[in-house]
Amino acid sequence: MKITTILSTILVAAALARGADGKPNFTGDWKMNAEKSKFGALPPTVKRTDRIDHRDPSLKITRHQSSDFGESTYEYDCTTDGQPCKVERRGSTVQNLELKPRWDGVVLVFDGKGVFQGTSFTLTERWNLAADGKTIRLTRSFSGDAGATEQEIVLEKQ
Protein backbone atom coordinates (compact mmCIF):
# COMPACT_ATOMS: atom_id res chain seq x y z
CA MET A 1 0.00 0.00 0.00
CA LYS A 2 2.82 2.44 0.87
CA ILE A 3 4.60 1.79 -2.42
CA THR A 4 1.40 2.47 -4.36
CA THR A 5 0.89 5.75 -2.49
CA ILE A 6 4.48 6.82 -3.13
CA LEU A 7 4.27 5.93 -6.84
CA SER A 8 0.95 7.77 -7.18
CA THR A 9 2.45 10.87 -5.54
CA ILE A 10 5.43 10.80 -7.91
CA LEU A 11 3.18 10.43 -10.97
CA VAL A 12 0.94 13.32 -9.87
CA ALA A 13 3.99 15.54 -9.26
CA ALA A 14 5.36 14.66 -12.71
CA ALA A 15 2.00 15.44 -14.34
CA LEU A 16 1.81 18.83 -12.60
CA ALA A 17 5.31 19.72 -13.81
CA ARG A 18 4.17 19.21 -17.42
CA GLY A 19 1.49 21.10 -19.28
CA ALA A 20 -1.44 19.60 -21.18
CA ASP A 21 0.77 19.29 -24.27
CA GLY A 22 3.43 17.34 -22.33
CA LYS A 23 5.88 20.25 -22.32
CA PRO A 24 7.43 21.16 -18.96
CA ASN A 25 6.43 24.20 -16.97
CA PHE A 26 9.46 25.90 -15.39
CA THR A 27 7.48 28.22 -13.09
CA GLY A 28 9.00 28.60 -9.63
CA ASP A 29 11.90 29.87 -7.57
CA TRP A 30 15.15 28.09 -8.43
CA LYS A 31 18.57 28.12 -6.81
CA MET A 32 21.80 26.94 -8.42
CA ASN A 33 23.55 24.01 -6.78
CA ALA A 34 27.21 24.98 -7.42
CA GLU A 35 28.52 21.61 -6.21
CA LYS A 36 26.52 19.74 -8.86
CA SER A 37 27.24 22.28 -11.61
CA LYS A 38 30.20 22.22 -14.01
CA PHE A 39 31.47 25.52 -15.40
CA GLY A 40 33.99 24.41 -18.01
CA ALA A 41 36.67 26.92 -18.95
CA LEU A 42 34.61 29.93 -17.83
CA PRO A 43 34.82 31.50 -14.37
CA PRO A 44 32.28 29.77 -12.11
CA THR A 45 29.08 31.43 -11.04
CA VAL A 46 29.26 31.68 -7.25
CA LYS A 47 25.56 32.16 -6.62
CA ARG A 48 22.47 32.18 -8.84
CA THR A 49 18.74 32.31 -8.24
CA ASP A 50 16.03 32.39 -10.91
CA ARG A 51 12.40 33.34 -10.43
CA ILE A 52 10.54 31.95 -13.43
CA ASP A 53 6.97 32.66 -14.54
CA HIS A 54 6.21 30.28 -17.40
CA ARG A 55 2.79 30.29 -19.07
CA ASP A 56 3.68 28.89 -22.44
CA PRO A 57 4.48 30.54 -24.75
CA SER A 58 5.26 33.39 -22.27
CA LEU A 59 8.47 32.96 -20.27
CA LYS A 60 9.65 35.61 -17.80
CA ILE A 61 12.82 35.17 -15.76
CA THR A 62 14.39 37.32 -13.05
CA ARG A 63 17.95 36.11 -12.49
CA HIS A 64 20.27 37.23 -9.67
CA GLN A 65 23.84 35.98 -9.92
CA SER A 66 27.32 36.55 -8.52
CA SER A 67 30.58 35.68 -10.29
CA ASP A 68 34.08 37.05 -10.86
CA PHE A 69 32.37 39.74 -12.96
CA GLY A 70 30.37 40.97 -9.92
CA GLU A 71 26.72 40.80 -8.96
CA SER A 72 23.99 41.22 -11.56
CA THR A 73 20.24 41.06 -11.90
CA TYR A 74 18.70 40.37 -15.29
CA GLU A 75 15.07 40.45 -16.43
CA TYR A 76 14.18 38.20 -19.39
CA ASP A 77 10.90 38.66 -21.26
CA CYS A 78 10.66 35.78 -23.72
CA THR A 79 8.36 33.56 -25.71
CA THR A 80 9.09 29.93 -26.56
CA ASP A 81 8.43 30.31 -30.30
CA GLY A 82 11.94 31.22 -31.47
CA GLN A 83 11.47 35.00 -31.27
CA PRO A 84 14.24 37.06 -29.61
CA CYS A 85 13.93 37.73 -25.87
CA LYS A 86 14.05 41.19 -24.39
CA VAL A 87 16.81 41.15 -21.76
CA GLU A 88 17.26 44.02 -19.30
CA ARG A 89 19.88 44.81 -16.68
CA ARG A 90 19.34 47.77 -14.34
CA GLY A 91 16.29 48.82 -16.36
CA SER A 92 18.18 49.06 -19.68
CA THR A 93 18.05 46.65 -22.60
CA VAL A 94 21.18 44.50 -22.82
CA GLN A 95 22.85 45.26 -26.14
CA ASN A 96 24.89 42.79 -28.18
CA LEU A 97 22.87 39.77 -26.96
CA GLU A 98 20.22 37.83 -28.84
CA LEU A 99 18.47 34.81 -27.29
CA LYS A 100 15.78 32.85 -29.10
CA PRO A 101 14.00 30.18 -27.00
CA ARG A 102 12.21 27.34 -28.80
CA TRP A 103 10.96 23.85 -28.03
CA ASP A 104 12.78 20.71 -29.14
CA GLY A 105 10.27 18.12 -27.95
CA VAL A 106 10.17 18.54 -24.15
CA VAL A 107 13.50 20.38 -24.02
CA LEU A 108 13.56 24.18 -24.04
CA VAL A 109 16.44 25.37 -26.22
CA PHE A 110 17.92 28.89 -26.17
CA ASP A 111 19.89 29.72 -29.31
CA GLY A 112 22.01 32.79 -28.77
CA LYS A 113 24.74 35.05 -30.01
CA GLY A 114 26.38 38.14 -28.69
CA VAL A 115 29.47 40.10 -27.79
CA PHE A 116 30.99 40.19 -24.29
CA GLN A 117 33.96 42.45 -23.51
CA GLY A 118 34.74 42.72 -27.23
CA THR A 119 34.57 38.95 -27.84
CA SER A 120 31.89 37.48 -30.13
CA PHE A 121 30.23 34.23 -29.09
CA THR A 122 27.41 31.85 -29.91
CA LEU A 123 25.66 29.65 -27.41
CA THR A 124 23.11 26.91 -27.21
CA GLU A 125 21.44 26.26 -23.87
CA ARG A 126 19.17 23.24 -23.32
CA TRP A 127 16.79 23.16 -20.33
CA ASN A 128 15.70 19.73 -19.08
CA LEU A 129 13.17 19.50 -16.24
CA ALA A 130 13.44 16.34 -14.11
CA ALA A 131 10.35 14.11 -14.02
CA ASP A 132 9.66 15.10 -10.40
CA GLY A 133 9.74 18.83 -11.35
CA LYS A 134 12.40 19.63 -8.72
CA THR A 135 15.53 20.05 -10.84
CA ILE A 136 16.39 21.88 -14.05
CA ARG A 137 19.57 20.68 -15.74
CA LEU A 138 20.91 23.32 -18.12
CA THR A 139 23.54 22.22 -20.61
CA ARG A 140 25.28 25.09 -22.33
CA SER A 141 27.73 25.16 -25.27
CA PHE A 142 29.73 28.33 -25.92
CA SER A 143 31.96 29.01 -28.89
CA GLY A 144 33.63 32.12 -30.17
CA ASP A 145 36.79 34.08 -30.72
CA ALA A 146 38.29 32.78 -27.46
CA GLY A 147 37.51 29.08 -28.11
CA ALA A 148 34.74 26.73 -27.00
CA THR A 149 33.55 25.29 -23.71
CA GLU A 150 30.66 23.36 -22.19
CA GLN A 151 28.80 23.98 -18.96
CA GLU A 152 26.17 22.14 -16.96
CA ILE A 153 24.16 24.20 -14.48
CA VAL A 154 21.89 22.49 -11.95
CA LEU A 155 18.99 24.50 -10.56
CA GLU A 156 16.89 23.17 -7.68
CA LYS A 157 13.33 24.25 -6.92
CA GLN A 158 12.95 26.11 -3.63
| pLDDT of amino acid 21 | 75
pLDDT reading at 105 higher than 70: yes
Domain boundaries, the chain: 2-157
- In sequence order, what are the beta bridge partners of 38? 152
What are the φ/ψ torsions at residue 134 (nearest 5 degrees)? -105, -10
pTM here?
0.85
pLDDT tens, residue by residue, 25-70: 999 999 999 999 999 998 899 999 999 999 999 999 999 999 988 9
7: how many CB neighbours lie within 10 A of its CB?
A: 10
Asked: is 2-157 a CATH 2.40.128.20 domain? The reply is yes
The pLDDT of 3-21, averaged and rounded, is 45
**What is the pLDDT confidence band of residue 9, given thresholds at 50, 70 and 90?**
very low
What are the φ/ψ torsions at residue 147 (nearest 5 degrees)? 115, -160
| pLDDT of amino acid 20 | 56
Alpha-carbon torsion, ordered 42, 44, 50, 52, to 10 deg: 30
